[in-house]
Structure formats: structure tokens, C-alpha cells
Amino acid sequence: MKIFEYSKIKPTMFDNEEMKSVAGRVIIGKNDGAKNFCMRIFEIAPGGFTRKHTHEWEHEMFVHAGKGEFLGNGKWNSAKAGDAVFVPMNEEHQIRNTGEDLLVVICLVPSNAPEL
């Protein structure tokens, strides 16, 4: 068993035209012996957003803290801490932080997806 504070993992920072003020971390992945799926956490600062994209794998997400909007079903949908989000494969999606606090999203992908 491994137990650790997620924020102790060094983040990869994304800050460009497509992806603004995002810190990404692989929390549990292949390096830990997790062969079936991978847990990542994205911290999105107020005003920040992830990249709008589509891919051939699903996301299972959970909002741990903050609030924001998720693009899905062709529109922006509000979400807050305590909300779960399922993105089926091949659906265009994006996340933006519309709140005043850090938006912390747990996001899992299957093993055929890139870990970060």
C-alpha cells in the first residue's frame, strides 16, 4: 500500500494558448504497479482552462475542490466540489475555472491513454 499527500508530487505546469494555469500530476500509474487505469489530478487556477480536445478513451472525473465549468454535450455545464463527471470516449470536452479558488479535479483514464 502507498499513501501520500497528492500535492507532494511535483506537478507539470501547463501555461500556453491552449491550456492556461494548469498543474497536472500523475497520482497513481504504471510506475506504481497500476496496470489497468491511471489517476491524475489537475489543479486549475481561477481563470485557467484545460485544452479542448477529443480522444478515443473515457474520463472518470471527480471535483475535489472549487467550482468551474465542463464543456460536454456541446455546452458549458457547471460543476462544484462533490460532483462526478463522466466523459465517454470521442466526446469533445474542456474544463475552465470560473470560481475564485483553485479547482481541483481528479481525472482517471484507462491504461491505453497517455498518463499525462
- If the CB atoms of residues 15 and 80 are measured against a second copy, the closer one turns out to be 80
Least separation, in Å, of the C-beta of 105 and a second copy?
A: 11
Q: Which of 88, 90, 101, 114 binds a second copy (CB under 8 A)?
A: 88
In sequence order, the 6+-apart residues with CB closer than 8 A to the CB of 110 are 36, 37, 38, 57, 58
The single-letter code of the amino acid at 94 is Q
CA 53 to chain centre: 13
What's the residue count for the chain?
Answer: 116
Q: What is the contact surface with a second copy in residues (CB under 8 A)?
A: 1-7, 27-28, 32-37, 39, 57-58, 60, 62, 64, 70, 72-73, 77-79, 82-88, 91, 93, 106, 108, 110-111
